[in-house]
């Protein structure tokens, strides 16, 4: 795959929308279906840990620790994938990260109802961390695919600059971040409704969206090859 095309796909708005939808879906899924613990939003887990610890509900507080540790582990794995020596072997670390997440979510959906919540939350938190750490750029700006706070601040700042300074680039930035935020919200709504309706198998919807995201890389690769062929033919004339 052309390296330039891969970088463009990795930072594209289309991919960001799909990843944000999956992020919102997974948080709603874990909170509703897995005992009120967040898989992606580790700020929420820290707050809930503090609240329960303050009430001296130690067992409840400790439920929020495993996803935090899994998230940290996922960051380490993602950073390892991006190291030049590893990336040279894998060739496409971003696509590998998506495949890893799809496989894990697929396994989660296969687990029987008797499996405890904690290991499932850990699995989702791990893959969410890999996603967040791997995909950090929206077009040219840093963003988060699985949480809203930073994206909302960026969108608000850009919207202010667009209005106050008539800044066209800020308008584009605000529009792009707003699109990602809306996608996250839609994902959370879908995750809540489907988890309540069909239970654990609902996570396959998120895996399916990530499969589409993986397909976006393949589509852009094909389009890039056609573009390169057109350029070669044009130069040869």
What fold does the segment set 3-145+183-236 form as a domain? Growth Hormone; Chain: A; (1.20.1250)
Residue 227, pLDDT above cutoff 70: no
Confidence of residue 229 (pLDDT cuts 50, 70, 90): low
pLDDT, tens digit, for every residue of 139-158? Answer: 899 999 888 889 999 999 99
- In the chain, where the domains are located: 3-145+183-236
Owner of token pair 């794995």? 77
- pLDDT (average), residues 45-52: 86
The pLDDT value recorded for residue 1 is 46
**pTM score, two decimals?**
0.85
β partners of residue 142: 137
Burial-class residue 233 by CB neighbours within 10 Å (0-12, 13-18, 19+). exposed
Quick one: which of 191, 85, 90, 97 has its CA closest to 136? 97
pLDDT, tens digit, for every residue of 184-205? Answer: 999 999 999 999 999 889 999 9
Handedness of CA 2, 183, 28, 113 (dihedral sign): negative
The pLDDT value recorded for residue 80 is 87
């Amino acid at each position: 795959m052309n390296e330039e095309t891969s970088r463009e796909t990795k930072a594209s708005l289309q991919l960001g929308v799909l990843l944000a939808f999956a992020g919102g879906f997974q948080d709603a899924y874990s909170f509703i279906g897995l005992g009120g613990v967040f898989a992606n939003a580790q700020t929420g887990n820290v707050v809930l840990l503090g609240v329960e610890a303050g009430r001296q509900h130690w067992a409840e507080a400790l439920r929020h620790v495993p996803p935090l540790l899994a998230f940290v582990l996922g960051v380490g794995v993602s950073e390892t994938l991006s190291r030049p020596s590893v990336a040279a072997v894998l060739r496409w670390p971003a696509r590998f990260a998506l495949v890893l997440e799809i496989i894990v979510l697929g396994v989660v959906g296969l687990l029987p109802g008797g499996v405890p919540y904690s290991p499932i939350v850990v699995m989702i938190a791990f893959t969410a961390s890999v996603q967040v750490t791997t995909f950090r750029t929206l077009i040219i700006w840093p963003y988060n695919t699985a949480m809203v706070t930073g994206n909302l601040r960026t969108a608000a700042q850009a919207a202010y600059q667009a209005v106050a300074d008539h800044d066209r680039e800020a308008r584009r930035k605000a529009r792009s971040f707003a699109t990602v935020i809306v996608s996250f919200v839609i994902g959370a709504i879908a995750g809540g409704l489907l988890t309540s309706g069909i239970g654990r198998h609902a996570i396959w919807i998120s895996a399916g969206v990530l499969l589409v995201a993986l397909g976006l890389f393949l589509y852009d690769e094909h389009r890039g090859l056609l573009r390169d062929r057109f350029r070669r033919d044009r130069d040869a004339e």
